[in-house]
Amino acid sequence: MKRAPYPIEPDTSGKNYWRSLDEFEKSPSFAEDLKREFPEGAAEPPQGTSRREFLTIMGASMALGGLAACRRPEEVIVPYTRAPEEVVPGRPLFFSTAMPILGTALGLVVETHEGRPTKIEGNPRHPESLGATNSFVQATVLDLYDPDRSQSPQEKGQARTWDEANAFLRKLGDDAKKKNGKGLAVLVEDHRSPTLAAQLDALLKLMPDARVVRYEAFGRDVQEEGARIAFGKALVPVYDIGEADVVVSLDADFLLNEGSVVKNVRAFAARRDPDRKDKPMNRFYAIESIFSVSGTSADHRLRLSSHKIPAIAYALAQEIAAAAKVELPADITSALGGASALDPQAAKMVKAIAGDIAKRNGAVAIVVGRKQPAAVHALVHAVHRAIGAVGKTVKFVQPLDEVKGGPAEIAALAKDLQAGTVDTLLVLGGNPVFNAPADVRDAIGKAKTLVHVGTHVDETGKAAAWHLNRAHTLESWSDVRSEDGTGAIIQPLIAPMYGGKTDAEILEVFLGGTRKGYDLVRASWRGAQSLVADFERDFRRALHDGLWKDSAFPAETADLDAAKVGAAIKAQKAVAPKGDLEVVFDPDPHTWDGRYANNGWLQEMPDPMAKVTWGNVASLSPKTAKGLGVVDGDLVTVGANGATVTLPALVAPGLADGTILVTVGQGRTVVGRVGKNVGVDTGALRTSAAFHVADGVSITKAGGSTKLSRTQEHFLTEGRPLVLEASFAKYQENPQVVPPPKKYLSLFEERKYDKGHAWGMTIDLAACVGCNACSIACQAENNIPIVGAEGVQRSREMHWLRMDRYFEGDLENPTSVSQPMMCVHCENAPCEEVCPVAATTHSPEGLNEMTYNRCIGTKYCANNCPFKVRRFNYHDYTKDTIEQHKMQMNPDVTVRSRGVMEKCTYCVQRINRAKISAKAEGRDRLRDGEVVTACQAACPAQAIHFGDLNDKQSEVAKRAAGPRGYKLLEELNIRPRTSYLAKIKNPNPELEGA
Per-residue pLDDT tens digits for 247-299: 999 999 999 999 999 999 999 999 999 999 999 999 999 999 999 999 999 99
For residue 883, what pLDDT is reported?
85
CA nearest neighbour of 888 among 111, 87, 90: 111
Q: Is the per-residue pLDDT at 928 higher than 90?
A: yes
CATH of the domain at 681: 2.40.40.20
Q: With respect to residue 834, please indicate whether it lies within any of the assigned structural domains.
A: yes
Residue 478 pLDDT level (bands cut at 50, 70, 90): very high
**Interacting residues of 927 by C-beta distance below 8 A, sequence separation 6+:** none
Average pLDDT over residues 88-99: 91
Concatenated DSSP letters for 222-257? HHHHHHHHHHSS--EEEE-GGG-SEEEEES--TTTT
Q: Is the per-residue pLDDT at 68 higher than 50?
A: no
- Same domain, yes or no, for 696 and 791? no
- Same domain, yes or no, for 262 and 393? yes
- Same domain, yes or no, for 663 and 780? no
Domain boundary among 397, 421, 448: 397
Q: With respect to residue 826, please indicate whether it lies within any of the assigned structural domains.
A: yes
Rounded Cα distance, 973 and 977, in Å = 12
Q: Is the per-residue pLDDT at 27 higher than 70?
A: no
For residue 76, what pLDDT is reported?
45
Question: What is the C-alpha R_g of the chain?
Answer: 28
Q: With respect to residue 566, please indicate whether it lies within any of the assigned structural domains.
A: no
Per-residue pLDDT tens digits for 848-901: 999 999 999 999 999 999 999 999 998 888 877 888 888 999 999 999 988 999
Average pLDDT over residues 917-931: 94
Residue 63 pLDDT level (bands cut at 50, 70, 90): very low
Q: With respect to residue 204, please indicate whether it lies within any of the assigned structural domains.
A: no
Instruction: State whether residue 645 is helix, strand or coil.
Output: strand
Residue 13 pLDDT level (bands cut at 50, 70, 90): low
**Interacting residues of 164 by C-beta distance below 8 A, sequence separation 6+:** 153, 155
Average pLDDT over residues 29-50: 52
Specify the pTM: 0.91
- Same domain, yes or no, for 660 and 765? no
Per-residue pLDDT tens digits for 173-214: 999 999 999 999 999 999 999 999 999 999 999 999 999 999
Q: Is the per-residue pLDDT at 994 higher than 60?
A: no
For residue 796, what pLDDT is reported?
92
- Same domain, yes or no, for 791 and 684? no
Q: With respect to residue 799, please indicate whether it lies within any of the assigned structural domains.
A: yes
Q: With respect to residue 171, please indicate whether it lies within any of the assigned structural domains.
A: no
- Same domain, yes or no, for 251 and 366? yes
CA nearest neighbour of 472 among 146, 777, 889: 146
| Helices (runs of H) and strands (runs of E) counted in the chain | 32, 38
CA nearest neighbour of 19 among 610, 607, 866, 705: 610
Residue 14 pLDDT level (bands cut at 50, 70, 90): low
Residue 715 pLDDT level (bands cut at 50, 70, 90): low
For residue 53, what pLDDT is reported?
47
For residue 880, what pLDDT is reported?
77
- Same domain, yes or no, for 782 and 686? no
Q: With respect to residue 952, please indicate whether it lies within any of the assigned structural domains.
A: yes
Rounded Cα distance, 502 and 615, in Å = 31
Domain boundary among 672, 705, 738: 705
Instruction: State whether residue 660 is helix, strand or coil.
Output: strand
- Same domain, yes or no, for 840 and 971? yes
Domain boundary among 669, 684, 705: 705
Residue 62 pLDDT level (bands cut at 50, 70, 90): very low
CATH of the domain at 930: 3.30.70.20
Torsion of CA 502, 505, 507, 508, to 10 degrees: 170
For residue 528, what pLDDT is reported?
72
Residue 83 pLDDT level (bands cut at 50, 70, 90): low
Rounded Cα distance, 818 and 62, in Å = 39
For residue 532, what pLDDT is reported?
62
> Beta partners for 101?
104
Phi, psi dihedrals of residue 396, rounded to the nearest 5°: -120, 135
Buried-state track 751-776, b at ≥16 Cβ within 10 A, e below 16:
eebeeebbbbbbbbbbbbbbbbbbbb
> How many residues in total does the chain contain?
994
- Same domain, yes or no, for 691 and 801? no
> Beta partners for 481?
487
- Same domain, yes or no, for 906 and 807? yes
Mean pLDDT in the chain?
90
Strand ranges (DSSP E) for 574-632? 582-587, 618-620
The single-letter DSSP state of residue 910 is H
Residue 90 pLDDT level (bands cut at 50, 70, 90): confident
Rounded Cα distance, 831 and 848, in Å = 9
Q: How far apart are the first and last CA of the chain?
A: 44
What is the torsional sign of CA 270, 272, 276, 277?
A: positive
Residue 65 pLDDT level (bands cut at 50, 70, 90): very low
For residue 25, what pLDDT is reported?
63
For residue 722, what pLDDT is reported?
84
Q: Of 102-111, 339-348, 655-664, where does mean pLDDT reach its minimum?
A: 339-348
- Same domain, yes or no, for 691 and 802? no
Average pLDDT over residues 612-619: 96
Q: Of 531-540, 546-555, 775-784, where does mean pLDDT reach its minimum?
A: 531-540
Total domains in the fold of the chain: 3
Q: Is the per-residue pLDDT at 419 higher than 60?
A: yes
For residue 372, what pLDDT is reported?
98
Instruction: State whether residue 698 is helix, strand or coil.
Output: strand
Average pLDDT over residues 675-697: 96
For residue 47, what pLDDT is reported?
53
Per-residue pLDDT tens digits for 577-597: 898 999 999 999 999 999 999
Rounded Cα distance, 286 and 375, in Å = 19
The residue type of 284 is F
The answer to whether the beta carbons of residues 220 and 403 sit under 8 Å apart is: no
Average pLDDT over residues 556-566: 96
Average pLDDT over residues 773-780: 97
Q: Is the per-residue pLDDT at 222 higher than 50?
A: yes
Domain that holds residue 853: 17-59+755-985
Average pLDDT over residues 378-382: 98
CATH of the domain at 258: 3.40.228.10
Q: With respect to residue 393, please indicate whether it lies within any of the assigned structural domains.
A: yes
Q: Is the per-residue pLDDT at 666 higher than 60?
A: yes
**SS3 labels along 294-315:** HHHCCCEEEECCHHHHHHHHHH
The answer to whether the beta carbons of residues 189 and 428 sit under 8 Å apart is: yes
- Same domain, yes or no, for 774 and 660? no
Could you tell me the CA-to-CA distances from 127 to 101, 479, 943 in Å, in that order? 14, 16, 19
